[in-house]
Every structure is written in C-alpha cells, then in structure tokens.
Amino acid sequence: MSGTFVRKPALMSSALALLVAAAATWRLTEGTLGALALVVGGTVVVAVGSALQTRRETALRWVVVAAGVLVSLVGVALGSSGSGEPGALVRTVPALLGVLLVGLALAPVRGDGSRGLLKVGAALLFLTVLVTGLLEPDELRPLLVGTVATVLVYDLGEQAINVGEQLGRAAETKSLEATHAVGSVGVGVATVFLGGEVATLGSGGLSLSALALVVVAVLLLAAALHE
C-alpha cells in the first residue's frame, strides 16, 4: 500500500457499477443513447471534480462538479423529451435518474461514498425493470437481464464503497475488485441462463409469472452475492 489514504470508493468497482447501470438502461430504454451518454459523461465530470477536492482546489472543484451535474440533468431532460409515449417516459426517466444517482453515490463530492444514493439509484433502475415487465410481459429475457444488472450495480457499488472505506483509494486493490466482479457476474450470468431455461418449461402466457420470476430472481441473486 502506498500514497495518501483517501476514503473514496474504489475506481474499478465504481466504473463497473456505472457501466452496468448504463448498459441496463440502454437495453431497457431503446433510443436513449444520446441522453444516456450525457448522463454518464456528466457523472464522469463530477468524479473529476470530486478528485480535485482532495487537492484542496476548492473553487475549481465546485465549478467542475456543477458542470457535471448540469450535463447529466440535460441528459435526463433530453431523454424525457425524446420519450413520445407515456410508457417510454415512465421507463426512461427513472432509469436515467438511476444512472445519475449511482454515479453521484460513487463519485461523492463529500464523504466516502453514499450507500443511500446507491440504493435509490438501484431502486430506480429496478423500477424501470418492473415497468418494462408490465408493458412487455411476454419478453422475459430482457427482464432477467435488467434484474441481474440492477443487483450487480448495487453489489459492485457496495464493493467500491467498502474497499474505499477499508483500504483507501490509493491502495492496490485491482485484483481484489476483479475477483469479486468476476464472481458476481458469474452468478448473474447463471441466474439469467437458469431463469431462461425455467421459462421455456412453461406453456407461454408469462405475464404475471414472468414478473414474479423476476422478483424471485432479485431476492435469490441479492442473497447469493452477499454471502
């Protein structure tokens, strides 16, 4: 271990959590790529501003953070305006806000990461999954993928905050984070595969049963990842 001890969420797990959140949003809300890019780009700018905090560059830090938040909010507004139908709107806005909150949780302007913002961000992503399930009840696999992605976002975000709290950002933690990420993604892939196989055993008409399966998958996957 070397360098100054800085209690910030670990970079690798934070980046993976944000990437998974963005990928899930793109998968569940088609046609929002430009808006999503603005939201993600804005959170990256916020992360840069947050890093400046440790060097006591106060004025510049707040300018950069404000610019990042503004860019992200423009992305949310763009996604909202581009949603022509109510169904698209109730999926797009929560998902984009979820990505933004996950980014702000893992690129904190103050403190060492926000589990509260992370939970709210993951909950908004899961709300998008549930709305997608209600609007497209026959499409099970996107629901499974979205559900698993939501749990992975929360799990990777928690890992980033935990590592940052215990070891600091300057510590060499890439191997630790990579091992955790590979294990979590492996459990997630297995869940999607098994969920898809179970669905094929039915006789169709998966409207309510698909949604129930998604909820059960969330509970099982969350329990598995926290063991």
Mean pLDDT confidence for 144-151: 86
Per-residue pLDDT of 158-195, as tens digits, reads 999 999 888 877 778 889 899 988 988 888 787 777 76
Question: Which residue did the predictor score with more confidence, 220 or 58?
Answer: 58
Q: Output the 3-class SS for the chain.
A: CCCCCCCCCCHHHHHHHHHHHHHHHHHHCCCCHHHHHHHHHHHHHHHHHHHHHCCCCHHHHHHHHHHHHHHHHHHHHHHHHCCCCHHHHHHHHHHHHHHHHHHHHHCCCCCCCCHHHHHHHHHHHHHHHHHHHHHCCCCHHHHHHHHHHHHHHHHHHHHHHHHHHHHCCCCCCHHHHHHHHHHHHHHHHHHHHHHHHHHHCCCCCCHHHHHHHHHHHHHHHHHHHCC
The per-residue pLDDT for 188 is 78
The more confidently predicted of residues 167 and 85 is 167
Residue 208 in this model has a pLDDT that exceeds 60: no
Read off the pLDDT of residues 27-42 as tens digits, 9 standing for 90 and up: 888 668 889 999 999 9
Instruction: Kindly report which listed range (13-17, 133-137, 149-153) carries the lowest average pLDDT score.
Output: 133-137
Q: How confident is the model at residue 147 (pLDDT cuts 50, 70, 90)?
A: confident
**Taking residues 17-35, what's their average pLDDT?**
86
Whether 17 has a pLDDT exceeding 70, the answer reads yes
pLDDT at 1: 46
What is the pLDDT, as a whole number, of residue 86? 66
Reading the block at residue 25, the tokens are 């949003």
CA distance 156 to 161: 9
